[in-house]
């Protein structure tokens, strides 16, 4: 992808998520990398530092943590999502999470150090706007996820995923979805059979 196309991509992405458009993204576009990876590729392994801000253009990723010797999926990200370990990125501490591409995936990656340098050149109003909207977005997203995990059944959460991300689960391994929902693969299969009987599933 050419630098001009990356510049347009950054403008579109940051305008959509943060309402920012009056910025020349040319300098940051020089440091932005477009990455394509195959299914099951490790994007970052456990106990490494998060160094970049990543945004999904195509595909899906999963964040995984180890519970004793068992690998647990703690988050799913899809096209149009920023992804990674934000705590590791901000605090620059080693991350307990590993990140994998769950399908053929394409994303852009901006080195966090370059992003901070770019922010420093912008007006305080722009910096505050990005920071505030980023915090608001993450707060709303995580609050919703926490509430749903505590109040909705695995079936209800699965149906919600299907409504919001139609078609994507045809390519993602059911074991990852089951892990994310906190159920066994066998329980998820029963949920799917029940939904098929109710003519919910295609």
**Percent of the chain clearing pLDDT 90 (strictly above):** 43
Taken in order 90, 149, 77, 189, the sign of the CA dihedral is positive
Model-level pTM? 0.87
Q: What is the pLDDT of residue 149?
A: 76
| Separation of alpha carbons 53 and 111, rounded Å | 6
The tokens of 176 are what? 């990852």
Q: What is the pLDDT of residue 69?
A: 83
Q: What is the pLDDT of residue 199?
A: 61
172 Cα distance to chain centroid: 15
Q: Which residue has the tokens 């409504």?
A: 163
Note the pLDDT tens digit of each residue in 121-148: 887 777 777 767 776 766 777 787 778 7
Q: What is the pLDDT of residue 150?
A: 78
Ordered by where they begin, the domains of the chain are: 3-122 (2.60.120.10)
Query: Between 14 and 21, where is the model more confident?
Result: 14
Note the pLDDT tens digit of each residue in 28-72: 999 999 999 999 999 999 999 999 999 999 999 999 999 888 899
Q: What is the pLDDT of residue 107?
A: 97
Instruction: Find the Cα–Cα–Cα–Cα dihedral 46, 62, 40, 89, rounded to 10°.
Output: -40
| Separation of alpha carbons 62 and 81, rounded Å | 12
Q: What is the pLDDT of residue 57?
A: 96
DSSP string, 73-137: EEEEEETT-EES-HHHHHHT-B-S-EEEESSSEEEEEEEHHHHHHHHHTS-HHHHHHHHHHHHHH
Note the pLDDT tens digit of each residue in 147-165: 877 788 989 988 888 888 7
The tokens of 201 are what? 């599933």
């Amino acid at each position: 992808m050419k630098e001009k196309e990356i510049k347009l991509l950054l403008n579109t992405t940051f305008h959509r998520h943060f309402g920012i458009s009056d910025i020349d993204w040319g300098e940051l576009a020089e440091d932005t990398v477009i990455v394509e990876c195959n299914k099951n590729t490790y994007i970052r392994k456990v106990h490494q530092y998060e160094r970049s801000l990543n945004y999904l253009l195509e595909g899906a990723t999963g964040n995984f943590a180890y519970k004793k010797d068992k690998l647990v999926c703690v988050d799913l990200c899809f096209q149009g999502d920023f992804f990674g370990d934000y705590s590791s990125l901000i605090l620059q501490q080693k991350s307990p999470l590993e990140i994998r591409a769950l399908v053929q995936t394409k994303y852009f990656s901006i080195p966090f150090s370059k992003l901070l340098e770019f922010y420093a050149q912008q007006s305080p109003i722009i910096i505050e706007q990005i920071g505030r909207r980023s915090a608001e977005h993450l707060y709303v997203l995580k609050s919703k996820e926490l509430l749903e995990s505590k109040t909705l059944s695995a079936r209800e959460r699965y149906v919600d995923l299907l409504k919001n991300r139609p078609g994507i689960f045809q390519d993602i391994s059911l074991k990852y979805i089951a892990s994310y929902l906190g159920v066994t693969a066998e329980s998820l299969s029963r949920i799917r059979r029940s939904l098929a009987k109710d003519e919910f599933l295609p």
